[in-house]
């Protein structure tokens, strides 16, 4: 017997039906509770204790009989002033059970109680993220519902460093066709628990395809002045790139976002999931004032990565590395 169910047997008034059923489902059942086609094959039984009074609590008693857990309720059944049957039926069942020690009628009604209560539990469980997906991920339907709303297929993300629950948590933003900077910053800040900001219209250079480079003496569209002629092999652009500003950070958080850090692969995957492949982006890491370690001869700081000349003399964030996480360092 598990500790939680043992406590429920001693103090049933401390537990609610759904809370206790979640423990039963997680600790006793190999498959979701109520999904076995024959109730006699299940490791628990549900029923109701008849009473003439209004239910003082949900759980009447918890007991073990022949290796099977018996969970009896005061409510959610046929008996009692809140039940659908006339009250004299409850009086009849209670009299036969207590005065004549004949629980036949109660046991007969529990056949229907068990079926109804397990169906009620399954209906509640299917609409709960915690009660459904976290206890038995292989039978999680709630995640499927949320993924369907945002157009996601969780089977495609099996090899991704990003967990399914991260994608599902961002469904409110992913469901929209137009992804806005505030939504991206809010999603990242919620997951990593550090400040994020998006700086739009960052300058970058687009490499011109080899057959579109202007060459003197070569008849082509790229050789016409004022039409397609270009100088050089790249053109500046500020429409298709943004900068993701992370921080101010502590030094410990700063190291996690550096190339090779634990957070960088997850961040890259989450950003690509949010924006797709239409835009380029780069990262600017900022440290909290006085969190940047000064360069020391013989120290462990890495030049260009975690070393600064002297200490900060102001209370503004200290700018650290700026790089493109998908294409290596930019500067």
Contact assessment for residue 274 and residue 170, using Cβ atoms and an 8 Å cutoff: yes
Encoded tokens for 80: 């009692």
Query: What range does the domain containing 76 cover?
Result: 3-136
Same domain, 327 and 183: yes
Task: Write down which residue in 236, 257, 278 finishes a domain.
Answer: 236
Same domain, 298 and 152: no
Task: Write down which residue in 192, 214, 236 finishes a domain.
Answer: 236
Same domain, 54 and 188: no
Same domain, 263 and 249: yes
Q: Is 51 helix (H, G, I), strand (E, B) or coil?
A: coil
pLDDT band at 331 (very low <50, low <70, confident <90, very high): very low
Same domain, 329 and 227: no
Same domain, 32 and 119: yes
Q: Is the confidence at residue 49, as pLDDT, over 80?
A: yes
Please, what sign has the CA dihedral across residues 155, 160, 164, 166?
negative
Output the pLDDT for position 281. Answer: 93
The predicted model gives 160-170 an average pLDDT of 77
Output the pLDDT for position 1. Answer: 45
- Any idea which of 19-23, 64-68, 85-89, 159-163 has the lowest mean pLDDT? 159-163
pLDDT band at 285 (very low <50, low <70, confident <90, very high): very high
Task: Write down which residue in 82, 107, 136 finishes a domain.
Answer: 136
Output the pLDDT for position 329. Answer: 44
The predicted model gives 22-51 an average pLDDT of 77
Same domain, 251 and 325: yes
CA angle 63, 78, 73 (to 5 degrees): 25
- Any idea which of 76-80, 102-106, 310-314 has the lowest mean pLDDT? 310-314
Same domain, 111 and 131: yes
Domain count, the chain: 4
Distance CA 65, CA 83 (A): 27
Share of the chain above pLDDT 90, in %: 11
Same domain, 124 and 251: no
Same domain, 48 and 91: yes
pLDDT per position as a tens digit, 212-257: 777 777 777 667 676 777 777 888 888 999 999 998 999 899 999 9
Same domain, 321 and 196: yes
The predicted model gives 112-132 an average pLDDT of 79
Distance CA 291, CA 293 (A): 6
Burial of 130 (0-12, 13-18, 19+ CB in 10 A): exposed
Same domain, 99 and 219: no
pLDDT band at 330 (very low <50, low <70, confident <90, very high): very low
Output the pLDDT for position 192. Answer: 92
Output the pLDDT for position 130. Answer: 59
Distance CA 303, CA 307 (A): 5
DSSP letters, 12-76, are: GGG--HHHHHHHHHHHH-SS-TT-SSSGGGSSEEEEE---SSPPSSSEEEEEEETTEEEEEESSS
pLDDT band at 196 (very low <50, low <70, confident <90, very high): very high
Nearest to 115 by CA among 14, 171, 62, 42: 42
């Amino acid at each position: 017997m598990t500790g939680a169910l043992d406590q429920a047997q001693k103090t049933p008034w401390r537990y609610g039906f759904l809370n206790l059923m979640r423990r039963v489902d997680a600790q006793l059942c190999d498959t979701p509770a109520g999904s076995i086609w024959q109730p006699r094959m299940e490791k628990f039984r549900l029923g109701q204790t008849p009473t003439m009074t209004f239910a003082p609590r949900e759980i009447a008693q918890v007991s073990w009989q022949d290796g099977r857990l018996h969970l009896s309720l005061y409510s959610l059944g046929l008996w009692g002033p809140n039940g659908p049957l006339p009250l004299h039926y409850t009086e009849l069942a209670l009299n036969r059970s207590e005065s004549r020690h004949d629980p036949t009628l109660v046991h007969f009604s529990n056949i229907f109680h068990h079926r109804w209560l397990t169906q009620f539990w399954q209906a509640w469980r299917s609409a709960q993220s915690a009660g459904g997906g976290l206890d038995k991920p292989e039978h999680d339907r709630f995640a499927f519902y949320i993924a369907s709303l945002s157009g996601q297929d969780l089977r495609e993300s099996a090899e991704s460093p990003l967990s399914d629950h991260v994608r599902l948590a961002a469904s409110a933003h992913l469901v929209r066709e137009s992804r806005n900077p505030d939504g991206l910053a809010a999603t990242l800040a919620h997951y990593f628990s550090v400040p994020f900001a998006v700086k739009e219209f960052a300058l970058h250079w687009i490499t011109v395809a080899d057959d579109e480079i202007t060459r003197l003496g070569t008849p082509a569209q790229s050789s016409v002045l004022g039409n397609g002629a270009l100088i050089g092999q790249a053109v500046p652009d500020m429409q298709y790139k943004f900068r993701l500003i992370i921080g101010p950070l502590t030094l410990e958080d700063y190291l996690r976002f550096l190339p090779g850090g634990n957070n960088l692969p997850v961040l890259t995957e989450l950003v690509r999931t949010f924006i797709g492949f239409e835009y380029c982006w780069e990262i600017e890491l900022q440290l909290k004032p006085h969190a940047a370690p000064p360069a020391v001869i013989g120290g462990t700081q890495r030049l260009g990565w975690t070393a600064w000349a002297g200490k900060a003399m102001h209370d503004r964030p200290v700018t650290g590395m700026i790089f493109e996480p998908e294409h290596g360092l930019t500067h």
